Structure 1
Amino acid sequence: MLTQQKIIHALKDVEDPELHKSVVELNMVRDVHIEGTHVSLTIVLTIQGCPLKAKIKQDVETAIQALGATAVTLQFGSMTDEERKQLTASLKKENTTSEGMPTMLREDSGVTFIAVTSGKGGVGKSTVTINLAAALARQGKRVGIVDADIYGYSIPTMMKITEKPTMIDQMAVPVTKEGVKVMSMGFFSKDNQPVMWRGPMLNKWIRNFLVNTHWGDLDYLLLDLPPGTGDVAIDVAAMIPQAKEIIVTTPHNAASHVASRAGVMARHTKHEILGVVENMAFYETSDGERNYLFGKDGGSALAGALATEVIAQIPFAQPEENTGSSVYDEDSVVGEAFTHLAEDIIHIN
């Protein structure tokens, strides 16, 4: 026999697909009525026009039908402004300690922070970030990316992300692509307009990405830092002292020489250097011959200077033609290289 108690209990397993919390816990279930085997109810969404409303509808209907209901009439409403404020306050309370520090920055949070940096632009730092993140996600890890290159944001374009984060009052829900949660200045800049800010505003936005974003539970948060040793790199070093760093370079001696400065800064801020990733290391022809278009051994020279090791050599390859995305298929040569890198990082940590 169907009862309201049984229905509420069944719906505890239905999650809001963005917040990853039960629709019951979020108080989204309202006005449950039962007439024989016909159930009617209202689901109150966090915002009007919720992009994943169809997913919620399917999951609610499936859960109730599993109890024996032959018909489910589902209506949607939306939270009031006051309810959204209360929800935002609750989420923010989860995200911050009593001192206002982001909860994920506590030593016992279980989150491993990896800052991906380089000495100069154009070496493929963002490519390394998104492909490492995707590879970690394929290994079953919960992964997020902060596109901390505020001036040169590129992650949404490279991952072919067209939607925007959902905003619940002042709390952002990151966009998920390739199993990775993503936040970027690119979501908030209209028509590719340049960002013209000085240091204090940069610090504010990096902090916003940590505090006012509902990341949920993460195993890894990758930060795609701007090249060099400027304000953002300094702020991240101060804000996340436990972060580990990957230094990206090409094999070219000039690139590796400049990248050594980023490594020296990592040592100065006491960030552990996980190693060097040598991107665009070689081009492999169909017969297996390797052509070193940017020279050789730049990564090894950088690793030697920083007393670390080369943890990956990523070959040249075309982006996935069918998608236009810069995330490589896991079965491709480049994808396999990032799979090995992800496995090594998981083993290290």
Structure 2
Amino acid sequence: MRTLGARVDADTLARVRTAVGSLVEPSLRHRLDELGMVGDVSAVRGGVRVVVHLPSTALPGQDRLRDAVRAAARVDGVGSVDVEVEPMSDSGRMDVARTLKAAPGLNTLGSRTRVYAVASGKGGVGKSVVTANLAAALAAAGQRVGVIDADVWGYSVPQLFGVREAPVALKGVMLPVRAHDVSLMSVGFFVDDAQPVVWRGPMLHKALEQFVGDVYWGELDVLLLDLPPGTGDVPMSLIELLPDVQLLLVTTPQAAVAAVAGRVAAMATDSRVPVAGVVENMSSISCDGCGAETPLFDGDAGASLAGSLGVPLLGRVPVDRELTRCADAGVPAVLEQPGSPAAVELSRVAATLPSHEPTLAGRSLPLFVSSESS
């Protein structure tokens, strides 16, 4: 007959609490003890019982969290581990929200996040596909990446990343939706696909303000903004909200398309927003059989636009069947078909994105009140 072990002592329980508390919650990116998620840790015959308080029952990855807690709790002297998950109290959820709100934001002084606004003059040039694949390529290279789908009327990020779920809301803080190791926020997560978004200036600005300030992004390395085409309210709002933004222009080889993209660049210049470079999309058609590339349009407008702006032509992305198939399937081609011509070029562009040092312009500087008399 199996003999049950003795109860663990108080010192062992303290070590269990410390080990479990040091775990980092993947979505909230804080230690469990910082978030008040570690509840009762008690001894049972031959092992321990650990209670974890969840700030939201919709928090993703709960099974993985249970496994991580179970593994961490097996310190020396502990046999079996029983993990129980309980909803957090209302006051506890409020404390978690305060902790997240106190974390550095995208427009906080000292933030090292590189912000690229992917823009075009006209719609239909593949701007969103470029954005999605750049984000996925950067994330695959180990960077912490976020995407704001700022094309409110023509949002496509949910489709391109193959995710359809509402963000987790926690006392005034939203958690971005995660897909393919990229943090995402889009109006498409809040409305039905068949429902048109009929918003005007003030509503657009408020939505973008919430996407920047009320979403817990954590410490990102790169944030990509998928802008609507043209020079309307949305680009101007984001320039105000994110003073360190750089413009990434997407055009086709057509002169007419590049000319309109040039107007977007002029708007950026007037607003003192640097242009990081130009990506020429649909430069050619790749042959599935022989691998040859045939120009899709006459002209070399991408290079001409980059030259006139004094910025690099970052890449020429061909049209290939795998790029469009992956977009329809909701998986970035750089992950699903990394060897396809378009994916190779987009990965190269992601690896060579230029950067610039953040400035203090447009930022709110902290004020300190000194108690010393003058």
Q: Is TM > 0.5 for Structure 1 vs Structure 2?
A: yes
Tell me if 1:296 matches 2:305. Answer: no
Counterpart position of 1:324:
329
CA contact (8 A) 2:277 2:312 kept: yes
2:350 paired with 1:342 = yes
Task: Summarize deviations over 1:189-243 as a string: whole Å, max 9, x none.
Answer: 1344111111111111111011111111111111111100000011112222221
Task: Identify the residue that residue 264 of structure 2 maps to in structure 1.
Answer: 262
Alignment correspondent of 1:240: 242
How far does residue 319 in structure 1 lie from its aligned partner after superposition?
4.0
Cα drift, residue 187 of structure 1: 0.7
* Residue aligned with 2:151, SS: coil
SS in 2 for 1:334: helix
Of 339-348 and 129-138, the range deviating more from structure 2: 339-348
Deviations 1:124-151 (A, max 9, x none): 1111111111111122111101111111
SS at match of 1:15: coil
Q: Are the counterparts in 1 of residues 100 and 216 from structure 2 also a CA contact under 8 Å? A: yes
User: CA–CA distance in 2 between the matches of 1:147 and 1:197?
Assistant: 15
Residues 150, 90 of structure 1: CA spacing in aligned structure 2 closer, same or farther, 3 A cutoff? same
Per-residue deviation at 1:318? 2.3
CA contact (8 A) 1:281 1:296 kept: no
Q: Tell me the equivalent position of 1:143.
A: 145
Are 1:54 and 2:63 counterparts? Answer: yes
Query: Counterpart of 1:74 in 2: which secondary structure?
Result: strand
* Percentage of identical aligned residues: 35
> Which amino acid in the other structure matches residue 325 of structure 1?
G
**Structure 2 stretches of 5 or more lacking a match?**
1-7, 358-374
1:88-135: CA deviation from partner (whole Å, max 9, x where unpaired): 12212225xxxxxxx321342111111100001000111111111111
* Equivalent residue, structure 1, for 2:317: 314
Runs of 4+ in 1 over 3 A off after TM superposition: 319-323, 346-349
- Structure-2 change in CA distance of 1:339 and 1:67 (3 Å): farther
**1:69: Cα distance to partner?**
2.5
1:85 alignment partner, one of 83, 94, 104: 94
Q: More deviation in 329-338 or 205-214?
A: 329-338
Normalised by the length of structure 2, the TM-score is 0.86
**What displacement does 1:48 show?**
2.3
Match of 1:44 among 53, 63, 67: 53
Structure-1 residue corresponding to 2:25? 16
Unaligned runs of 5+ in 1: 96-102
Cα RMSD (Å): 2.0
In structure 1, how many angstroms separate the alpha carbons of the residues matched to 2:350 and 2:52? 40
Distance 1:189 1:17 in 2: 26
So what's the TM-score if we normalise by structure 1? 0.92
Match of 2:3 in 1: none
Q: How many residues align?
A: 342
CA contact (8 A) 1:14 1:22 kept: yes
Give the drift of 1:344: 1.0
* Kept after mapping to 2: 8 A contact 1:319/1:327: no
Aligned equivalent of 2:365: none
Match of 1:305 in 2: 308
- Change in Cα spacing, 1:23 to 1:153, as seen in structure 2 (3 Å) is same
**Max Rg structure:** 2
